[in-house]
Structure 1
Amino acid sequence: MTSIFELPDDLLAALIESFPCRDAQIRALATLLYPRAAPCRNLIIHGTEATGKSAVTLRLLEALSSASSSDDDAPLFNYAIVKSVECVTARHLYERVVGAVGDALQWESEGRPAVGRCETIAALTVELTKMLKYDQPQERDSRFVLVFDGIDRQREPPPTLLPALARLSEIIPNLTTIFILTAPSPSLLRVSSVPQLYFPPYTKSEYVTILSRPPYLPPSLPNTTPQETTDLWTRFTAAVHDALAKPASRSLPGLARSCAALWPRFTAPVAAGTHRAREFSKLLVAARAYFQDEAVLEPGITLAKGPISAGEKEARSSSSSSSKDLAALLPPTARLLLIAAYLASHNAPRHDQTIFSTWHSGRRRRRGGGGIAHRITKKAKHRKIARKLLGPSAFVLERMVAIYAATRQEWVNDENDGAENQPTVDGDVGMAIATLASLRLLVRVGGAGGAGDTMDRGGKWRVGVGWEVVRGVGRSMGVEVEEWLVE
């Protein structure tokens, strides 16, 4: 008795050879798409990043489409892929869908009427029905697959976008809609019995298997046979996975980049002739410093020229690198607001009028430790712990803006007035606050998960950076933040 399923086994064998450790997903996907197998109306493909979802889907669709065009006996098969992350709005998505389907069918090249505008899901349904339902040959089985890649990252999606797209296959019988995303919710499409295909993360053995095949397999080492190089590479990739799986190799591309960066250093003794390829333990001991140094994988993570301790490395990467990066990347207004936020978080509100009110009368403050904050420090009760070493306190947005308004003239136009590189305040405070909030340099506290209007004058915030970072940002503008702190 012959089976009702007719999968192109030779085609699937080539795909399985190209994508090792994904044979189950390839066969399941082919079964749910091929017209003479068990085609479905809607399909959800999900999994974490870099698990092969999009790559496997694209290659399978290309193979099925090529087979149908080269064999007259094969069923008609066509497809279109839309990358949702590239669409700015829902209307942009609709236009991209119609354009992709029209290109796949060569709609306008055959003298057919031009496709109309698609501003709503209803217009999209009309255009797709016209192209796929009424103008397609019906004498033999056919299938059109429409793929929405990364649909969970669609910008400004309407609340009914996915359920509406899932209903297209009910109107167009020969349509299969695929939704590729990371983690589906239980009521994503609001349609019962939607098959889901899961692409799980690769395991350690699967990582080693994939990396032991071209194009990841490295060339043979000097004075070493190809088999010895392959064996050494296999054990090396397993060691890299065990050492760097969590911080640097959470995906296949990340692990491949780590192995490519460490391999020349790991095999340097073999190339020099001091060790043999079979002496894996000795090579691992000789190269253990490379497995512990993040600068090998990310050369810009540290600024040290010589060997430094782990404590020094952490301090330099969290202070010098962070402050210099912020001073170079943030505009002047954002930097001034960040300093004002730090002062609002670490100075008590009762000192604001004493410190900042003198600027309204036009008087300038002398530097060198003779400021108002310094005089308050002498009168204040001695603290066992400096205030700048304590955690930041929450402050009202209006207070931070008031500190910024009271001090910006002093911080921007100091004794160096007229200097060529003196920064200027652009006045766009709202944009600067939104920038700091998006970078988590300012953190909104209170409310429903910290959500709300960023310009709410009564909203409470907390500075998200430490003393070393703020001091570096201040010095980049000629501001000594410590002179404005009340101990």
Structure 2
Amino acid sequence: MPSIFELPDDLLASLLESFPCRDAQIRALATLLYPRAAPCRNIVIHGTEATGKSAVTARLLEALSSPAAASASATGDAPPLLSYAIVKSVECVTARHLYERVVGQVANALRWEEEREKEGRGALGRCETVAALTVELTRMLKYDQPRERDSRFVLVFDDIDRQREAPPTLLPALARLSEIIPNLTTIFILTAPSPSLLRLSSAPQLYFPPYTKPEYVTILSRPPYAPRPSLPNTTPQETADLWARFAAAVHDALAKPASRSLPGLARACAALWPRFTAPVAAGTHRAREFTKLLVAARAYFQDESVLEPGITLANKGPVSAVAKAGEKEARSSNSSSKDLAVLLPPTARLLLIAAYLASHNAPRHDQTIFSTWHSGRRRRGGGGMGVAHHITKKAKHRKIARKLLGPGAFVLERMVAIYAATRREWLSDDNDAGDGQQPTVDGDVGMAIATLASLRLLVRVGGAGGAGDTMDRGGKWRVGVGWEVIRGVGRSMGVEVEEWLVE
């Protein structure tokens, strides 16, 4: 028979084997929960994601509430008992939902319905406040039977910091339930506790730190992560040694820079292992030639499609992650410009191009570029370029193209003037609107400007948070799209926007 403050080591042995590198946390938590050790009222368990907080707590409570734990701690006819209920706060929509979920979970753990039928107790009531929750828990947990006076009930709030619509006094109120119910222990599992979380100074806090590299390798070297069976033409020990070195290499390449968790690192190792060991299976390399294997498989560590096949398209041969990112960005830009060319009417597209020119051309160049529009002379294919070439003779010292710089602010009247000066040439009779139909310019310019502003293609600057009349002639605006998008919108109407930019 174990004495007081003695833990059931035989029950903890399997738990320590299932959760390596968490021995200290398991023994500390068992001491604070076990009825024959040092049970406390409130416990705060915190740590980053995927550090074993919830899994260790659930498995430990399952072990301590088993019949073997009750028989091991028996003292005569009054063995101390332990029951528990785990409430996942992320599954509760409101605080009231949380209260009723707690009552339901506790009732199921204690078989309250059966006790109510035998002893004629009242039915469970509605829980809309913490006071109602306290009443219901007191009815279920405050017993008078002698065999249950030394029992304890553990109530776990998992991810309580992610509870939606939680009142500011929720955690302090839940922490004081154990003051009213002496045999209750409340566990709060969260990510990062604040200094005044429970507004109590006596609640112990148990920290689950992130796994280190040696701990990652140790965990991944055990089932169910370790590869089975062994590689062809190699012994099980050689396969285990190669897997340990491989897991360390994957950690250095992926886990540390990406802050990858244990499940993510395990998935990465499982995806890369067949490709990494393909030369060993083919007989071209041996399992002991780790450096050669790493050099041969380094392309797979740079290929995003290996780890996340749903994000990038599969390509023939390994492609670097940087090249894939560039291709993805280019596809995104082309798709955005194509969508705008299809969705926006001609007037809105013309105003968007005019806004881009107003943002990237200096106002002093407007008269030179746009003042000859009324003469009827066609300047497409070089009209703007000649003017731009003449102007840039004095600006040859510029190192960065103006279209690559950030957009500048312009007044609304200037954008409308550019639109009025260019729309007849851009929407001529032989120039379609990009959809195979003859262009028809909508006269409601204000509606088009409001549409562009609502889509954040035009952004108002200055003033009180950018508020004000959208048709204020003196209001300042800035275009909200980049060069790739505006070039696609212009080409959908047969306009080369680059000819109208002053470099």
TM-score, normalising length: structure 2? 0.71
Could you say which residue in structure 1 is the equivalent of 2:174? 165
Q: Residue type matched to 1:391 in 2?
A: G
Once the 2 structures are TM-superposed, how far is the Cα of residue 198 of structure 1 from its aligned partner?
A: 0.4
2:280 is matched by which residue type in structure 1? V
One-letter amino acid of the structure 2 residue matched with residue 162 of structure 1: L
Alignment match, 1:184:
193
Distance of aligned partners of 1:124 and 1:310 in 2 relative to their CA distance in 1, 3 Å threshold: closer
Closer/same/farther in 2, CA of residues 306 and 175 from structure 1, 3 Å limit: same
Q: Is the 8 A contact 1:89 1:155 kept in 2?
A: yes
Aligned: 1:76 with 2:81: yes
Maintained 8 Å contact 2:31/2:37:
yes
The residue aligned with 1:319 is 330
Q: CA deviation at 1:252?
A: 0.7
User: 1:331-363, CA deviations, whole angstroms, 9 ceiling, x for partnerless residues?
Assistant: 979xx99999999798549999xx9xxxxxxxx
1:279 to 289, 299, 314: 289
Q: Structure 1 467/171 Cα, relative in aligned 2: closer, same or farther at 3 Å? A: farther
Identify the match of residue 236 of structure 1 among 246, 268, 274. 246
Share of identical aligned residues, percent?
69
Q: Which string of whole-angstrom CA distances, capped at 9 and with x for unpartnered residues, describes residues 422-453 of structure 1?
A: xxxxx9xx9x99999xxxx9999999xxxx99
Find the counterpart in structure 1 of residue 130 from structure 2: 121
Query: CA–CA distance in 2 between the matches of 1:446 and 1:12?
Result: 65
Residue of structure 2 equivalent to 1:151: 160
| CA offsets 1:275-310 (integer angstroms, 9 cap, x no match) | 111222221222222223333222333565455566
Please state whether the residue corresponding to 2:64 is helix, strand or coil: helix
AA in 2 matched with 1:99? G
Which of 108, 117, 124 is 2:113 aligned to? Answer: 108
Task: Name the structure 2 match of 1:422.
Answer: none
Q: Distance in 2 between matches of 1:305 and 1:230?
A: 32
What is the SS of the residue equivalent to 2:263?
Answer: helix
Map 1:13-162 to 2 at 5 A: 13-67=13-67, 71=71, 73=74, 74-110=79-115, 111=117, 112-134=121-143, 139-162=148-171
Tell me if the contact between 2:460 and 2:477 (Cα under 8 Å) persists in the aligned partners: yes
| Shift in Å, 1:311 | 5.3
Deviations 1:402-422 (A, max 9, x none): 9xxxxxxxxxx966499xxxx
Residue 389 of structure 1 pairs with residue 404 of structure 2: yes
Question: Do 1:249 and 1:255's aligned partners in 2 also have CA atoms closer than 8 Å?
Answer: no
SS of 2:153 mapped into structure 1: strand
Give, as a single letter, the amino acid of the residue that structure 1 aligns with 2:27.
Answer: R
From the superposition, tell whether residues 286 and 91 of structure 1 become closer, same or farther in structure 2 (CA, over 3 Å).
same
Q: Which amino acid aligns with 1:92?
A: H
| Matched ranges for 1:183-222 at <5 A | 183-219=192-228, 220-222=230-232
Per the TM alignment, residue 321 of structure 1 is displaced from its structure 2 partner at its CA by 4.8
Deviation digits for residues 103-145 of structure 1 (CA, Å, limit 9, x no counterpart):
1112123324321111112211111112112477665411111
- C-alpha contact 1:68 1:76 (8 A) present in aligned 2: no
CA distance in structure 2 between the aligned counterparts of 1:339 and 1:75, rounded to whole angstroms: 80
Cα distance change on mapping 1:313 and 1:162 into 2, 3 Å: same
**Could you say what secondary structure the match of 2:185 adopts?**
strand
Specify the SS of the correspondent of 1:239.
helix
SS at match of 1:127: helix
Q: CA RMSD in A?
A: 5.1
- Deviation (angstroms), 1:190: 0.8
User: 1:365 — aligned with what?
Assistant: none
In terms of mean alpha carbon deviation, does 202-211 or 240-249 score higher? 240-249
- 1:249 and 1:258 in contact (8 A); partners too: no
1:293 corresponds to: 303
Task: Give structure 1 stretches of 5+ with no counterpart.
Answer: 356-367, 403-412, 419-426
SS in structure 1 of the partner of residue 65 of structure 2? helix
After superposition, give the CA deviation of every residue in 1:447-481 in whole Å (9 maximum; x if it has no partner).
9xxxx9999999x999998544x469969999989
- Stretches of structure 2 that go unaligned for 5 or more consecutive residues are 367-377, 417-431, 438-446, 471-475
Q: Closer, same or farther in 2 for the Cα pair 1:118/1:480, shift >3 Å? A: farther
- Give how far 1:160 is off: 0.9
CA distance in 2, matches of 1:453, 1:137: 68
- 1:317 deviates by 2.8
Q: State the shift of 1:314 in Å.
A: 3.3
In structure 2, relative to structure 1, the CA distance for the partners of 1:347 and 1:14 (3 Å cut) is: farther
SS at match of 1:156: coil
Distance in 2 separating the partners of 1:66 and 1:444: 66
Aligned partners of 1:444, 1:77: CA distance in 2, in Å? Answer: 63
Larger Rg: 2
Instruction: Please tell me whether the aligned partners of residues 80 and 101 of structure 1 are also in contact (alpha carbons under 8 angstroms).
Output: yes
Moved more, 249-258 or 38-47: 249-258
**8 Å CA contact 1:76, 1:141 repeated in 2:** yes
Whether 2:275 is the aligned partner of 1:265: answer yes
Letter of the aligned partner of 2:405 in structure 1?
A: L
Correspondence list, 1:432-443, <5 A: none
